[in-house]
Each structure stands twice: as C-alpha cells, then as structure tokens.
Chain A
Amino acid sequence: MQLGPYAGFIIAAYLATFGVVAALIGWIIADHRAQKRTLDDLEARGFGRRSASREVA
C-alpha cells in the first residue's frame, strides 16, 4: 500500500477515527459495568424495584 506524499494526513485521519470509536466503545462498556454494579448493590441492600416499593409503601 503506497500512501504517497500525504501519508501523514491519511494515517492521522484513520488513527483519529479508530481512537474516537475505541473511546466510544470503552465508555459504553465502562458505563454499563458501573450502572450494573450500582443496580446490583442497591438490590442487594433490599432496594429491588418490588421490594423497594413495598418498603416505601
């Protein structure tokens, strides 16, 4: 693959795209783990949706 005299621009464009997409994927995975962990923690402490509604009532 010959990228010619503007190889730097082409490589920078692809690296930036991979970087941004990787950051999006990483953020979504980390966010999912965080929400799941918090939800499990709350439910373990008896604040499951049904049990919580009973406690509030």
Chain B
Amino acid sequence: MPVMDLANPSRFLILVERVLPWLAAVTVCVLAVGLYQALLVAPDDYQQGATVKIMFIHVPSAWLAMFCWAVMSVAALGTLVWRHPLADVAAKAAAPLGAAFTFLCLLTGSLWGRPMWGAYWVWDGRLTSVLVLFLMYLAVLALWRTVEDPSRAARAVAILTLVGAVNLPIIKFSVDWWATLHQPASVLRMGAPTIHSSILVPLLIMGVAFMLLFLTLHLAAMRNEILRRRVRTLRLMQAQAGA
C-alpha cells in the first residue's frame, strides 16, 4: 500500500484493523520485559535507594508528554499547510493521550520528589513548564469540544498547538537555564548518558514500551475519530432527509 494511499481514511482504517492486534501484542511483550527489568533486575540507586524505580515510569511519561505535543505540532502543520485529511484526526486523537501522560509525569514526579526533595512540588522552571504543558493540553481538549464544526475546530487547535510548541524547548532546557531541584538531562544529552547501564537499559526498554503503547492507543483513537466523523456525516444526512 503506497504511503499516499493512507491519506484516504477508508484505506487507513483497513491498515489500522490489520496492524492494531499485532502492535498491541508487541506492546504487551515489551512492557512485560521492561517491568521485569525495572522492578526485579535493575539495582537500587546508591543515593536514592528503591525510589529510583519511580524513574522507570516517570521519565517515559515525560518523554511521551513532550513527544505527543510534537506529534500534534506536525499534525497542525498538516492541517494548516498541507490540508492532509488525517492531520486533524491525528491531532485530536493525540490530545487526551498527551494530557494523560503529562498528568502521569507530574504525579509520579511528585511521588518521587516527596521522599527525595522533601516536597511534592516546587515552583521551579522544569516543574512549572510541564504544568503549563498540561494546562495547554486541557485548553486544546476544551477547544475541540467548544467548536462544533471539526474542520473549524482543527484550524483553531492547530494555531494553539503551534504556539504551545514554544514550550517544548523551554521544558527541555529549563534545567540548564534556571536553578532547579530537578536533576539535569542524563539520557537525552550531548555526550554519553550519565546513568549506569544497569539502570539505563531497563529505562530505555520502558521508553520503547511507552512509545509502542502511545502508538497503539493513538492508532485506535484515530480509528474512533474517523468513525465519529462518519456518524456525524450520516446524522447530518439523516437530518437533511427528514427536513
């Protein structure tokens, strides 16, 4: 199936129906391996003890929180510039997933921060910029619900998404720009990671597992959104026929 054919929602649905069960199965397998490595194989940190286990869900959630907004930003360009038929479907399907993973990032970070920093929350650059990201996700979700016409809503959301993308480099470099309790980048940084391989490998496996989870949920949510738009079209036709 040529890539351009995926612009057709019907062909995209056929592809999703074929791929989704396999993708879900691979996700479950990788997640199981990741959890086994994280909970039973990875050693405790010499300073943080067993609380380092929270990192194996906190960091992948943080990666997904930002990745999801990046996906929405590309989709926003697809809506505004290329007018790709699936772009706003992809953006709308990604928003609740991004909000959920950003919430998890904040929550697990708080549960890690309390024993390590002595506080659930501090108003520093990293935590505040991630909170802003979460509020932006809520604003996008609200905007999708406020504007009834999906194509008009998509354009408004696309603009908000591209404006909000400014926050992504702020989140990434906040630990370098401002004084913070949050540790600096230790995996995605210039030079080698600063984490020992016995902890880094389980973290990367969990990162791949979360990415696969996002891909599975996103494709399933896109399928739902396409069906929702078909229902809307048929209801409009029904109303016109009844008028």
Contact = CB atoms under 8 A, between A and B. Distances in A.
Chain A bound to chain B: yes
B37 to A, nearest CB: 13
A49 B231 CA distance: 10
A49 B234 contact: yes
B103 interface: yes
Nearest to A53: B237
Given A9-B111, A25-B217, A56-B241, A20 B104 contact: yes
Contact of B115 (A6, A21, A36): A6
B186 interface: no
Q: How big is chain A's contact interface, by range?
A: 35 or more
Contacts of B241: 47, 52, 55-56
Contacts of B233: 49
Given A9-B51, A52-B238, A56-B237, A16 B108 contact: yes
Interface stretch (B52-60, B137-145, B168-176, B177-185): B52-60
Interface residues of B, number: 39
A49 B238 contact: no
Contacts, number: 103
Contacts of A42: 231, 234-235, 238
Contacts of B108: 13, 16-17
B127 interface: no
B216 to A, nearest CB: 9
A35 B227 contact: yes
Interface string B219-231: 0110110011011
A13 B111 contact: yes
Contacts of A48: 234
B112 A9 contact: yes
Given A28-B221, A35-B227, 6 more contacts: A5-B49, A16-B104, A24-B97, A28-B224, A31-B228, A49-B230
